[in-house]
Amino acid sequence: MAAMEHIRNFVIIAHIDSGKSTLADRLLEMTGTVPMRSMQAQYLDRMPLERERGITIKMAPVRMEYAADDGKKYVMNLIDTPGHSDFAYEVSRALNAVEGGILLIDGTKGIQAQTLSNLRGAQKAGLRIIPAVNKIDLALPHIEKVVEATAELLGIEPSEVFRVSAKTGAGVKELLEAVVKFVPPPKTGHSADGHDNISKALIFDSMYDDHKGIIANVRVFGGEFGTEDMHLVASADGFKAKEVGYFSPDMKASPKLLTGEIGYIATGLKEPELVHIGDTILANRDSTGLGSARKSELALPGYREPAPVVFISFYPDGETKFDDLKRGFEKLRLNDAALSFEPDSNEALGRGLKVGFLGQLHFEIISSRLEREYNLTFLTSFPSIAYRVQDKGQVFVIKQPQDFPDHPEKVWEPLVNLEILTPQQYLSAVLNMQTVFDIEISEVKNIGENLLIQAVMPLRELIRDFDDRMKSVSQGYASFTYELAGERESEVEKLEIVVVNEVVPALTRIVPKKDLEREGRQTVERLKELLPKAQFSQALQAKSLGRIIARETIPAMKKELGNFGKNGGDRTRKMKLWKKQEKGKERLQAGARVDISPEVFREILKK
Ligand SMILES: Nc1nc2c(ncn2[C@@H]2O[C@H](COP(=O)(O)OP(=O)(O)O)[C@@H](O)[C@H]2O)c(=O)[nH]1
Ligand SMILES: [Mg+2]
């Protein structure tokens, strides 16, 4: 059992694609945590979706044992983190479970937007930061410039910045030694509240297991935990732990979790609403029970709930029932604390859920996970942001375009503070995006070789193809982060799309008045390309306040199915196909249930 002086808890933080997960691979190898024969690239990206997309979505904790150069053995608890801004909440929770962080800078790109926002978060959490410039194997001519910029950013000497290659392993041992040397051991468990007999652990993540129930990923801040009776502060509920243990990186049972350590507690609880991320688990060490201790006063500082920026409604479809969909979301929420949802119903689509996401990527990932992990089928509404509206003297928040009133007295829209980092040569291309996306720049300054642009932009622009456009104009070299920053009055209106005489609620959205005509026309033109042909011709119209702005027609499919008799063998297949098309027709004529895929939304959102 490791004494606290021999524990190091740390994260790897960086902008996406800097090589965090690859660096974690080298650490897993060096410490013999994963045997060479089982090693695969980005080992900690274990979700099939992560492997497919080549990105980290979930933070991944792993416990390693390391015999350091000082002759002592250390327990090294590493948490690998995602780099995309949609998953920043994962990073922020990991920061509060550790004492140190490796800040990785991609040597090919220099300081990027998430480098800055992650660094700010880590500094706020009081972490000891160890900077390292990665990808030195590429023999980059400007690598020294990146090292200098990193040193300047942190106010240290260039010689204090590590140079590594996560790919070849060069410099990685020195980096791990630095973690041992500079990251402080966990603080002692003695607390100021006078309840030193009570063990405390912070839940920084959770997941669901059919046998062990809800598993809480915890950082122990005082005392120790075995399989005893425990108490959850926020839900004021108790349970007897089924198992405690570590991540290696698979769950590995252990008799106890000690002060300062990172591991898991299997609660046996099955009700997702009982286990909150950010809650404190308490247990009594001298078996007198928690007794009179005022439990809420013993709670560790939890987490601020993240503010969702984009709202999308989900409705069950096909075999999926509303309760299945709700259960799916509840289980996913255990594993994704940034997800929020509330009941919702729509005349045409029935009972559903209004779901808040941290961005487009977050939405896409959750949709895929619902389909793959829970076998659910569903329809979704157009991605929308929340507008504050004054109508008939009342002020309320509208999260769904369908609910938007026709003639509101006033509307306010949310804004974001934007930070864009770009190399000099792409500055003009990035500045050209200003008018397209309604960006107001307040300041441009140098950060090393790159330029930092600070600006304000309406949130509605962020959920369009802003991300893709930024990447393409800068060949992937410009990056950005944002935070919500108040609101301003705006002139927007509801745009509806009518397919075969029925409004398709899933396509209703709110657009600025000045863009109404253009957006209406563009939408029906795109839909004409995207929607499949049917047995009959389909009229597409864009409408606002009862006025038709644009129209297109999808011509009927050529009749190929009429001559059943000719080659008999095919008849049943054709009958089937024909029936299917009839069904599609009924469905389409019901208007509301036209199936709009996230890809179609994405197309329509493009400028
Ligand atoms: N040449 C080179 N490529 C690297 C190095 N480290 C990571 N990469 C590559 O960079 C890409 C992103 O790596 P990944 O570990 O997924 O980055 P993460 O998003 O920060 O976790 C992958 O294609 C890696 O193979 C390195 O040291 N040298
Ligand atoms: Mg990664």
Q: Which residue bears the tokens 């992990």?
A: 373
What is the reported pLDDT for 566? 46
Given the CA of residue 25, which atom of ligand 1 is nearest to it?
15
Q: What pLDDT is stored for residue 576 in this prediction?
A: 55
475 Cα to the center of ligand 1, angstroms: 17
φ and ψ at 581, to 5 degrees?
A: -70, -35
Q: Which atom of ligand 1 is nearest to the CA of 134?
A: 27
Question: Which residue's CA lies nearest to atom 9 of ligand 1?
Answer: 19
Instruction: Give me ligand 2 centre to Cα 580, in Å.
Output: 43
> Pocket residues for ligand 1 (CB within 6 Å)?
14, 16-22, 42, 56, 83, 134-135, 137-138, 165-167
* CA trace torsion 305, 21, 369, 483 (10° rounding): 30
Distance 337 CA to ligand 2 centre (A): 19
**Cα 81 to ligand 1 centre (Å):** 14
Which ligand approaches the C-alpha of residue 59 most closely?
2
| Residue 353 confidence (pLDDT) | 95
The answer to whether the CB of 399 falls within 8 A of the CB of 407 is no
Task: Say which ligand is closest to the CA of 14.
Answer: 1
What is the residue-wise DSSP string for 473-534? HTTT--EEEEEEEEEEE--EEEEEEEETTEE-GGG-EEEEGGGHHHHHHHHHHHHHHHSPP-
- Residue 532 is predicted with a pLDDT of 80
Taking the CA of residue 164 as reference, the ligand 1 atom at the shortest distance is 27
Task: State in Å: Cα 575 to ligand 2 middle.
Answer: 49
CA of 41 to the centre of ligand 2 (A): 10
Question: Rounded CA gap, 144 and 575, in Å?
Answer: 69
pLDDT for res 547: 93
Q: If you compute the radius of gyration of the chain from its CA atoms, what whole number of angstroms results?
A: 27
Max intra-chain CA distance, the chain: 89
331 C-alpha to ligand 2 centroid (Å): 23
Summarised one tens digit per residue, pLDDT across range 52-83 is: 999 999 999 999 999 999 999 999 999 999 99
Structural domains in the chain, CATH included, are 4-182 (3.40.50.300), 198-298 (2.40.30.10), 310-383 (3.30.70.870), 388-489 (3.30.70.240), 493-604 (3.30.70.2570)
- Most ligand 1 atoms within 8 A of CB, residue of 22, 45, 168 to mutate: 22
pLDDT of 565: 44
Q: How far is the CA of 97 from the centre of ligand 1 (A)?
A: 25
Ligand number with the minimum distance to the CA of 25: 1
DSSP type of residue 568? G
- Kindly give the parts of the chain with pLDDT less than 70: 1-2, 188-196, 285-293, 559-595, 598
The closest ligand to the CA of 134 turns out to be 1
For atom 10 of ligand 1, the residue with the nearest CA is 19
- Give the model's pLDDT for residue 590: 46
Q: How far apart are CA 493 and CA 401, in angstroms?
A: 9
One DSSP character per residue, 323-388 reads HHHHHHHHHHHHH-TT-EEEEEEETTTEEEEEEEESSHHHHHHHHHHHHHHH---EEEPPPB--EE
Ligand 1 atom at shortest distance from the alpha carbon of 104: 20
Closest residue to atom 23 of ligand 1, CA basis: 17
pLDDT confidence of residue 87: 92
Q: Please give the Cα distance from 506 to 380 (Å, whole number).
A: 7
Closest-CA residue, ligand 1 atom 11, reads: 17
- The residues that bridge with 482 in the sheet, in sequence order, are 418
Ligand at minimal distance from the CA of 23 is 1
How many angstroms is it from 422 CA to the middle of ligand 2?
22
Residue whose Cα lies nearest atom 6 of ligand 1: it is: 19
- Burial of 433: CB neighbours in 10 Å, binned 0-12, 13-18, 19+: buried
Residue nearest atom 14 of ligand 1, based on CA coordinates = 19
pLDDT tens profile 426-443: 999 999 999 999 999 999
Q: What is the pLDDT of residues 594-604, one digit of tens each?
A: 667 767 777 88
pTM for the full predicted model: 0.86
What is the pLDDT, as a whole number, of residue 191?
57
- Atom number, ligand 1, closest to the C-alpha of residue 18: 20
Ligand 2 centroid–CA 104 distance in Å is: 11
Ligand nearest to the CA of 15: 1
Residue 16 CA, closest ligand 1 atom number: 19
- For residues 285 and 198, the answer to whether their CB atoms sit within 8 Å is yes
Ligand 1 atom with the smallest distance to the CA of 165 is: 27
Nearest residue (by CA) to ligand 1, atom 13, is 19
7: nearest Cα among 126, 179, 123 = 179
**Ligand 1 mutation pick, 17, 28, 50, 133, max ligand atoms within 8 A of CB:** 17
3-state secondary structure 7-58: EEEEEEECCCCCCHHHHHHHHHHHCCCCCHHHCCCCCCCCCHHHHHHCCCCC
Q: Which ligand lies nearest the alpha carbon of 42?
A: 1
Whole-number Å distance, alpha carbon 44 to ligand 2 midpoint, is: 8
CA 62 – ligand 1 centroid, Å:
19
The whole-number pLDDT of residue 148 equals 96
